[in-house]
């Protein structure tokens, strides 16, 4: 379900350029392409249902308003959209103060099925494998901050460790993940 760009960066730039020019079909295309990934992330952070829908609406309306502010030379479209989604989801969590589900519940339990041979599933699998390789305490910190949307202070309190430890584990966890995904060509 979670997709990865099968289009070239140039095509994505063109798509966003059309959105900036108020082409509704382009936004619909972007939705088809990224809504499954972004909705999954929103649902993971705020829970499925109305709030996740609101988050997704906010994300696409935000893109509609400010497509011109995305700069392909600075980040991938995916990273930009995911960042906006996380931001909106964190806002929603702050309003509701509802805890998110632990990441462990999302991790795959078995082997990859034949239907997951699609490109998106491959990436999903790679990311999960990279996550699984992290020491549990690193994964725990990532889970608390990235998926549950807690600040480093809140994460320190919840996990019973110092804020400094949260920060250093986060940095190391992302560094290791980045290194591995980069080695497999997923980071430009």
Partner 1 sequence: MNRTHQEIQEELTLWALGIAPDAPLPGLAEHLANCGECRRLVREVYETTGLLASAVKPVPPPEGLKEKILGRLGTEGQEVQQAGRSSTSVDRIHSLPREPGPRGPLPASHKTKRGQTEAVRRTPWTWLWGAAAAIFVFGLLWGNISLNRKVQRQEEEITAWVERYEADFRWLRSAEYLLVQESEPAFSALLAAPAEIPGIAPVGDPGSGAPTGKATIYTAYDDRFYLIVWVSGLLPGATYEVWAESAGAASRIASFAVDERGSGSVASPSEGQVAWTRVEVRGIDETVVLRGELRPGGLGPRGW
Give residues 160-179 in contact with partner 1 (rule: CB under 8 A).
164, 167-168, 170-171, 174-175, 177-178
Indicate which single residue of 83, 112, 117, 118 sits in contact with partner 1 (rule: CB under 8 A). 83
* 134 lies in the site for partner 1, by CB under 8 A: no
CA atoms lying within 13 Å on the CB side of residue 126: 21
Compute the least distance from the CB of residue 92 to partner 1, in Å: 13
DSSP letters of 18-67?
HHHTT-HHHHHHHHHHHHHHHHHHHHHHH-TTHHHHHHHHHHHHHHHHHG
Q: Which is nearer to partner 1, 10 or 105 (CB)?
A: 105
- Residue 82 binds partner 1, judged by CB under 8 A: yes
With b for 16 or more beta-carbon neighbours within 10 A and e for fewer, the 123-155 pattern comes to: bbebbeebbeebeeebbbbbbbbbbbbbebeeb
- Smallest separation (angstroms) from partner 1 to the CB of 98: 17
Q: Give residues 9-68 in contact with partner 1 (rule: CB under 8 A).
A: 24, 27-28, 31-32, 35-41, 43-44, 48, 52-53, 56-57, 60-62, 64-66
């Amino acid at each position: 379900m979670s997709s990865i760009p099968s289009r070239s960066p140039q095509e994505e730039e063109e798509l966003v350029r059309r959105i900036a020019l108020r082409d509704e079909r382009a936004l619909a295309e972007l939705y088809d392409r990224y809504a499954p990934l972004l909705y999954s992330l929103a649902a993971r952070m705020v829970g499925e249902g109305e709030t996740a829908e609101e988050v997704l609406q906010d994300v696409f309306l935000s893109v509609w308003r400010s497509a011109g502010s995305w700069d392909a030379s600075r980040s991938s479209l995916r990273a930009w959209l995911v960042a906006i989604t996380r931001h909106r989801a964190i806002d929603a969590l702050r309003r509701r103060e509802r805890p998110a589900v632990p990441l462990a519940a999302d991790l795959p339990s078995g082997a990859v099925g034949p239907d997951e041979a699609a490109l998106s599933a491959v990436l999903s699998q790679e990311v999960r494998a990279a996550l699984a390789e992290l020491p549990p305490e690193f994964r725990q910190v990532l889970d608390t901050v990235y998926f549950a949307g807690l600040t480093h202070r809140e994460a320190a309190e919840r996990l019973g460790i110092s804020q400094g430890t949260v920060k250093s584990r986060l940095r190391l966890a992302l560094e290791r993940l980045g290194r591995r995904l980069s080695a497999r060509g997923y980071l430009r």
